[in-house]
Amino acid sequence: MVTIKDVANEAGVSIATVSAVVNDSRPVAKSTRKKVMKIIEEMGYNPNPVARALKKGKTKRILYMVPSIKNLVFAQFIDKVQQALIEKGYDLILLNNEARSDLTKSYLSIIHPSNIDGVIMTQTRTCGEIIKKTCKNKSIPLVVLFEPDIFNDVSMVTSEEQTGIEKAVDHLLAKKHKKIGFLKVEDSRNQMKRYQSFINKLEKEKVDFDDKWLIECDDHDEQASYKAVHSYLETEELEFTALLACNDFLSLGAIRALRDSGFRVPEDISIIGYDDSIAEYLHPTLTSIKLPKENLANKAVELLLNQIEQEDSAVQTAKYEQDLVVRESVISND
């Protein structure tokens, strides 16, 4: 393996001069710099990135920790974060902890200011608290992306979920739907908050809701949704004329279950999804609450780099409104 000493001997300069060229730590004559860089390329010298980080104080690497890479919403966030980092000259390191505490602790045991400059996380409360504590103990800058109102004393970028739900209900009411069902994952804290926003909005508009119009499934995917909705339709009459689902994949499962049970979408029942991840590819195209993913990702990167480059440790929170993208899955209930 070629060492820095080998490069210095070949170039006829000191090791300190080669280090200065590699790390850009002090001025070096243009001719000397050019000569050293040429020899580095010819000899295939690869500077140790950790050693460079210790000298320069920055690795130009950001860790993004997510609970799933199977969930398309997280995949879309990963893409947006990576693009934002690339534009700023930073590399992305991705870790999927599967929302498991043991994996989280194992991964965090190997991170250090010498190998990453900062952390972005989209996490559950339990794993997020572990990450937050570790970053604090190791003085690693941290920003929370997307998860609303879970963590304190840390910079956070999130969206106004209440506004998205309210816009969806307003749209259904404008289309004369007075009986609206709700589909969510049973043990999801975030989706429970969306459900509460839904109930609050109906109460504000003086619209009745029957508890039996709530359908709950045991996971976030279309298979779990299909099973829950199909089972519901086997025991209950379809009294509501519209259904609001807590993500687009739940909407997909609901559409399949409704069709298999003889119902048409949107002729017999209108549907609104949430997150706008696959909505435009469904049939009919799905009206969905859109997450401002690019704005959220860009702001998360901005806040983190401010901490890194300016050593600004002030806690900041940024929130973005959600919009409703109207497509074909909702029609008037005439």
Tens-digit pLDDT profile for residues 236-293: 999 999 999 999 999 999 999 999 999 999 999 999 999 999 999 999 999 999 999 9
Question: Does the pLDDT value for residue 301 go beyond 50?
Answer: yes
Q: Are strands 214-217 and 242-245 parallel, antiparallel or unpaired?
A: unpaired
Question: Does the pLDDT value for residue 151 go beyond 90?
Answer: no
pLDDT digits (tens, 9 = 90+) for 124-148: 889 999 999 999 999 999 999 987 6
83 vs 77: CA distance, rounded Å: 10
What is the reported pLDDT for 50?
A: 46
Phi first, then psi: give them for residue 52, nearest 5 degrees: -65, -40
Span 61-158+293-320: which CATH code? 3.40.50.2300
- Mean of the pLDDT values across residues 303-314? 85
267 vs 329: CA distance, rounded Å: 9
pLDDT digits (tens, 9 = 90+) for 40-81: 888 888 765 545 444 445 889 999 999 999 889 999 999 999
Mean pLDDT, the chain, as a whole number?
91
**Residue of 181, 172, 164, 165 lying closest to 331 (CA atoms):** 172
Least confident of 4-13, 146-155, 267-276, 304-313: 146-155
Rounded to the nearest angstrom, the gap between the alpha carbon of residue 204 and the centroid of all alpha carbons in its chain is 31
- 49 prior amide bond cis, ω within 30: no
What is the reported pLDDT for 147?
A: 72
**Residue of 284, 205, 297, 193 lying closest to 246 (CA atoms):** 193
pLDDT digits (tens, 9 = 90+) for 189-211: 889 999 999 999 999 999 999 99
In the block, residue with structure tokens 């983190």: 304
126 vs 12: CA distance, rounded Å: 56
The CATH architecture assigned to 4-47 reads Orthogonal Bundle (1.10)
Write out the H or E segment, with its range, that includes residue 9: helix 4-11
Confidence of residue 168 (pLDDT cuts 50, 70, 90): very high
Confidence of residue 2 (pLDDT cuts 50, 70, 90): confident
Dihedral sign from CA coordinates of 95, 98, 221, 273? negative
Spell out the domain ranges in the chain.
Answer: 4-47, 61-158+293-320, 161-291
Question: Does the pLDDT value for residue 24 go beyond 70?
Answer: no
pLDDT digits (tens, 9 = 90+) for 173-189: 999 999 999 999 998 88
65 vs 74: CA distance, rounded Å: 10
What percent of the chain has a predicted confidence (pLDDT) above 90? 74
Return the amino acid letter for 5: K
What is the reported pLDDT for 73?
A: 93
What is the reported pLDDT for 54?
A: 46
Q: Interior CA angle at 72 toward 322 and 229, to 5°? A: 85
What is the reported pLDDT for 53?
A: 47
Same fold, 4-47 and 61-158+293-320: no
Confidence of residue 30 (pLDDT cuts 50, 70, 90): confident
Question: Does the pLDDT value for residue 311 go beyond 90?
Answer: no
The answer as to CATH 3.40.50.2300 being correct for domain 161-291 is yes
Of residues 326 and 310, which shows the higher confidence score? 326
The two tokens of residue 250 are 């739940």
Contact 248, 273 (CB under 8 A): yes
**Residue of 180, 302, 197, 293 lying closest to 244 (CA atoms):** 180
DSSP assignment of 153-214: SSEEEEEEHHHHHHHHHHHHHHTT---EEEEEETT-HHHHHHHHHHHHHHHHTT----GGGE
What is the reported pLDDT for 122?
A: 95
- 292 prior amide bond cis, ω within 30: no
Q: Which residues pair with 155 in a beta bridge?
A: 143
